[in-house]
Amino acid sequence: GGSRLRELWRSASAGSPNSAVACWLHCADELTIEVLAQLDYDAYVMDLQHGTADGLQAIRQLRALQAMSSSAALVRLAELSASEVGRYLDAGFSGVICPMVNTKAQADALVAACRYAPQGERSWGPTRAMLKERVSLKGYAQQMRDPRTRPVTLAMIETRQGLGNLPDILTSEVDGVFIGPMDLSCSLDEEGLGTAGPKTSKAIARIKALAHRQGKVVGIYVSDRSSTEHYISKGFQFVVSAHDKVALMAGAMSSLPRTCLR
Ligand code: 3PY
Ligand code: MG
């Protein structure tokens, strides 16, 4: 799972940033993820902030994915909550994306929630994760300490405050930052939502430059091929390119008889 992302990132070189291409799930449904699993994205993200799944359903989707695929399964949390982080890691998710990380203290709390003492504050109880990995208690504890196999942590930078505190946030031990262009453009009071506006695109370039200077992974959320290719070519290592909801609509529209096109 998560180690697949880390291997990809580790094998990156100057000419080849080895970007992970990810698929985002808004729909709380197992079949949807089973269909999209066929395309073998590097990672699948279950969105507990804006999707329709609750925690139990996200775990059902995780099982469905893992039955068909060895891709990384991540959750986008509804909010920064150590108990939620623990619950999803215990279920076998290999990483977490935390929305609205605005301060270094929040980034530190995210990392602490993913690590056992003395490095962090995660409570012991990897109920399903251990079964999935087929490891002993000791083996699991080792995996969680090993920088190659421990959970992937991505802090979302999507507010003016997060942008202002970015140099500080980047001194935390998160693996990287993940840009939410919708909230970021809102927060910057941009004319239109998304990546295109001048303030937002400048902010995106700044986030990337600062994060890469600090040796962190940078990710971004887009939803079309040209933006995906653009950010891959710019060296972004985690690009969300597909969404179940968008894909479903595009697929249906592609077969709609012309007489029904509005
Ligand atoms: C944003 O663009 O604000 C996101 O959180 C992506 O879902
Ligand atoms: Mg957002």
Average pLDDT over residues 64-83: 97
Give the nearest ligand 1 atom to 182 CA.
2
Nearest CA to ligand 1 atom 1: 180
DSSP 122: P
Q: How far apart are the first and last CA of the chain?
A: 42
Partners of 154 in beta bridges: 97, 176
User: How far is CA 126 from each of CA 16, 129, 134, 209, rounded to the nearest angstrom?
Assistant: 35, 5, 12, 36
Whether 239 and 231 have beta carbons less than 8 Å apart is answered as: yes
Whether 201 and 208 have beta carbons less than 8 Å apart is answered as: no
Q: Is the pLDDT of residue 192 over 70?
A: yes
Average pLDDT over residues 182-203: 96
Q: Is 243 one of the catalytic residues?
A: no
Task: Quote the pLDDT of residue 229.
Answer: 97
- For the four alpha carbons of 219, 221, 225 and 230, in that order, the dihedral sign comes to negative
Taking the centre of ligand 2 as the mean of its atom positions, its distance from the CA of residue 124, in whole angstroms, is 30
In this structure, what token pair is assigned to residue 161?
A: 């405050």
Q: Find where tokens 């699948």 sit.
A: 44
Q: Is the pLDDT of residue 1 over 70?
A: no
Q: Is the pLDDT of residue 50 over 90?
A: yes
- Pocket lining: 180 vs ligand 1, CB cutoff 6 Å: yes
Q: Is the pLDDT of residue 161 over 70?
A: yes
Q: Is the pLDDT of residue 13 over 90?
A: no
Partners of 220 in beta bridges: 179, 239
d(CA 45, CA 71): 10
Number of helices (H) and strands (E), helices first, in the chain? 13, 8
- Pocket lining: 158 vs ligand 1, CB cutoff 6 Å: yes
Nearest CA to ligand 1 atom 4: 180
Give this complex's ipTM: 0.98
Q: Is the pLDDT of residue 125 over 70?
A: yes
Whether 29 and 58 have beta carbons less than 8 Å apart is answered as: no
- Under the banding of pLDDT at 50, 70 and 90, the label for residue 128 is very high
Which residues, including other chains, have CB under 8 Å from residue 58's CB and lie 6 or more apart?
A: 28, 46, 48, 75, 88
Tell me which residues have their CB within 5 A of the ion that is ligand 2.
Answer: 158, 180, 183
Among 184, 171, 159, CA closest to 213: 171
Taking the centre of ligand 1 as the mean of its atom positions, its distance from the CA of residue 251, in whole angstroms, is 23
- Under the banding of pLDDT at 50, 70 and 90, the label for residue 4 is confident
Average pLDDT over residues 88-105: 98
Q: Is the pLDDT of residue 14 over 70?
A: no
Mutate to test the pocket of ligand 1, among 77, 158, 207 (most ligand atoms within 8 A of CB): 158
Partners of 24 in beta bridges: 45, 243
Question: What domains can be seen in the chain, in order of their start residue?
Answer: 2-249 (3.20.20.60)
